[in-house]
Chains A and B, each alone.
Chain A
Amino acid sequence: MFIGRSRGIPSSEITDERLYRAFMGRRGFLKTAAGFGAALSLGRWSDAHGDNTLAEGAFGRVTKSPLSTNEPATSFDDITGYNNYYEFSTDKEAPALLAKNFQARPWTVAVEGDVTTPGVYDVDELIKSFTLEERVYRLRCVEAWSMVIPWIGFPLRDLLQRIQPTSKARYVEFTAPHDPKRFPGQRKPVLQWPYREGLRLDEAMHPLTILAVGLYGKILPNQNGAPIRLVVPWKYGFKSIKAITAIRLVATQPTTTWAAYSPDEYGFYANVNPAVDHPRWSQERERRIGDFLKRKTLPFNGYADQVAGLYSGMDLSVNF
């Protein structure tokens, strides 16, 4: 039976369709496009996968994860065309263009500090040595917009267990490159380069925390932080540092880029928290990209059941 296409499918959906076809072969799918500005509902990514599939030859077997959300994923075009990546530009649509010719490979990741087995790894060797999973996570930007992104990656804890932090290690510090030739946004001193982020060791060891190397089954696009980035879904997006070159285990809380830039606006923890406003805007609500009306922001971005325990006894309005 031939099922006619619904009218007015925006071009943004067409790429998705091709993508879905690439993965799903002949299996059909149904989409609805409801009015201008309305939410577009995509088939569940994890459903689309069915069993474990070979993702366009990019990765080997990618397993589904029970930690994924069932919410419809944001379109590939929106995820790759609208994001913050100040190393390229402060404009959210510019990174897609400016990162086009960025060479994300060869790339090395240094593992150093208070670890038993420090070393410098080729990123592809590193990726090959871990079991990749698909994690469909909500992403909440501190600017009050959000997406649902089907990441491909592996738990950071897998890496940490392998390199064995010493008893001195309490925090993990991540560093991105400082190279204005490759990152045109770094020619302006908008932030203190290089970009630095950090997690407490227990946050880094949490099963939800991953190093992402792909999305929508593809190798991580340059503008999304290729070749390897952090994803911490219960924290504001800026914690999830892109293009990591160094992972350092340290004893004291590291200085992080946004907290250093404006400590009263961006904290070290940066847990998604509707009860703590950004000084200049409310964090109570967020606009899911593709939706018209804003929705309520959930504590810890909806991951409170899994992560609230990490912060028991802490005053989250002080440690924001």
Chain B
Amino acid sequence: MDAAASAPRFAPRITHRLPFVVGCLPLLWLLIDAFTGGLGANPINRVIRSTGWWALALLVLTLGLAPAGRLLRWEGALVWRRACGLFSFFYACLHTAAYAGLDQALSIPDITADVIKRPHVTVGLLSFALMTPPAATSFGWAALRLGERRWQQVHQLVYPAAALGVVHYILSVKVDTGAPFVFAVILTALLALRLWYLLPTRNRRLPKSDEPSARSTTR
């Protein structure tokens, strides 16, 4: 923990908080719509679709930020990557809660039947489940406790989670697979890039290892 006690970093505080502010914007947008009647004739459907879209878009963005940082030699990418991943999980939580609470009125039998019978619900839930361990271990102390290698392994789950998220999206739409297809193409490209870079990244510094320092200095 010596590194944690090192020099206070004032400049990163703003850059560390900006992702949080940006990540809240979709929710803010939804809330404004909700209170001004902007959610349209079927508000529950709108909330479910919107939160689901943001969860997937941010997840794909999360995966894109690592190669983007590498290519552009942009260190800030890691801060944004963590925020994107967490906000993706946040919107996935809202998405799941909206489905269970607003669409299914928290009826356990209905939800169970849906999960068993409807492939898109099954796949969606699986994707959400895979996002949970990386989200839960995204904080600095978890990385320290797990150790770098194990932590990395847990966080590899975002790849299958994103793939299942795209499949969930494709299965959910009635006819127009245009938007899910765009996600599928981007994700495929990112996975290919990931495989390409797999070896060089193995021995890289643990991305989140500096996180406790930022936390402890702000407290």
Interface residues, chain A, with chain B CB atoms under 8 Å away: 10-12, 36-37, 77-78, 81-82, 86, 90, 92-93, 143, 145, 188, 190-191, 261, 277, 280-282, 287, 289-290, 292-294
Residues of A within 8 A of B34 (CB): 36
Residues of B within 8 A of A36 (CB): 34-35
Residues of A within 8 A of B191 (CB): none
Q: How far is the CA of A143 from the CA of B172 in the complex (A)?
A: 11
Contact A12–B37 (Cβ < 8 Å)? yes
Contact B42–A82 (Cβ < 8 Å)? yes
Residues of A within 8 A of B114 (CB): 282
- CB A287 to nearest CB in B, in angstroms, measures 7
Contact B176–A90 (Cβ < 8 Å)? yes
Contact A282–B175 (Cβ < 8 Å)? no
Task: List B residues 5-50 near A (Cβ within 8 Å).
Answer: 34-35, 37, 40-45
Residues of B within 8 A of A277 (CB): 117
- CB A33 to nearest CB in B, in angstroms, measures 11
Contact B105–A11 (Cβ < 8 Å)? no
Contact A280–B118 (Cβ < 8 Å)? yes
Given A12-B37, A282-B114, 9 more contacts at CB 8 Å? A36-B35, A82-B42, A90-B174, A90-B175, A92-B42, A261-B175, A277-B117, A287-B42, A294-B103
Residues of A within 8 A of B195 (CB): none
Judged by DSSP, the binding face of B is: helix
Task: List B residues 83-125 near A (Cβ within 8 Å).
Answer: 103, 105, 110, 113-114, 117-120
- Using C-beta atoms within 8 Å of the partner chain, give the interface range for chain B: 20 to 34
- CB A220 to nearest CB in B, in angstroms, measures 18
Residues of A within 8 A of B171 (CB): 280
- CB B66 to nearest CB in A, in angstroms, measures 33
Assuming the contacts A190-B176, A261-B175, A294-B105, asked whether A82 and B44 have C-beta atoms less than 8 A apart, the reply is no
20 residue pairs from A and B, CB less than 8 Å apart: A36-B35, A37-B44, A81-B41, A82-B41, A82-B42, A86-B175, A92-B41, A92-B42, A143-B174, A188-B176, A188-B178, A190-B175, A261-B175, A277-B117, A280-B118, A280-B120, A281-B118, A282-B114, A289-B42, A292-B44
Q: How far is the CA of A290 from the CA of B35 in the complex (A)?
A: 15
Residues of B within 8 A of A281 (CB): 118
Contact A191–B40 (Cβ < 8 Å)? no
Contact B176–A11 (Cβ < 8 Å)? no
Q: How far is the CA of A292 from the CA of B34 in the complex (A)?
A: 13
Interface residues, chain B, with chain A CB atoms under 8 Å away: 34-35, 37, 40-45, 103, 105, 110, 113-114, 117-120, 171-172, 174-176, 178
| Least CB separation from B178: chain A residue | A188
- CB B53 to nearest CB in A, in angstroms, measures 13
Contact B40–A37 (Cβ < 8 Å)? no
| Least CB separation from A190: chain B residue | B175
Contact B113–A287 (Cβ < 8 Å)? no
Residues of B within 8 A of A280 (CB): 118-120, 171-172
- CB B167 to nearest CB in A, in angstroms, measures 13
Assuming the contacts A10-B37, A36-B34, A287-B44, asked whether A191 and B175 have C-beta atoms less than 8 A apart, the reply is yes
| Least CB separation from B119: chain A residue | A280
Which residue of A10, A143, A282 is within 8 Å of B113 (Cβ)?
A: A282
- CB A234 to nearest CB in B, in angstroms, measures 22
Q: How far is the CA of A145 from the CA of B174 in the complex (A)?
A: 14
Contact A293–B105 (Cβ < 8 Å)? yes
Q: How far is the CA of A280 from the CA of B113 in the complex (A)?
A: 12
Residues of A within 8 A of B42 (CB): 82, 92, 145, 287, 289
Assuming the contacts A36-B34, A282-B114, asked whether A82 and B174 have C-beta atoms less than 8 A apart, the reply is no
Contact A11–B37 (Cβ < 8 Å)? yes
Report which residue of B45, B105, B172 has the largest number of chain A beta carbons within 10 angstroms of its beta carbon.
B45
Which residue of B37, B41, B117, B120 is within 8 Å of A289 (Cβ)?
A: B41
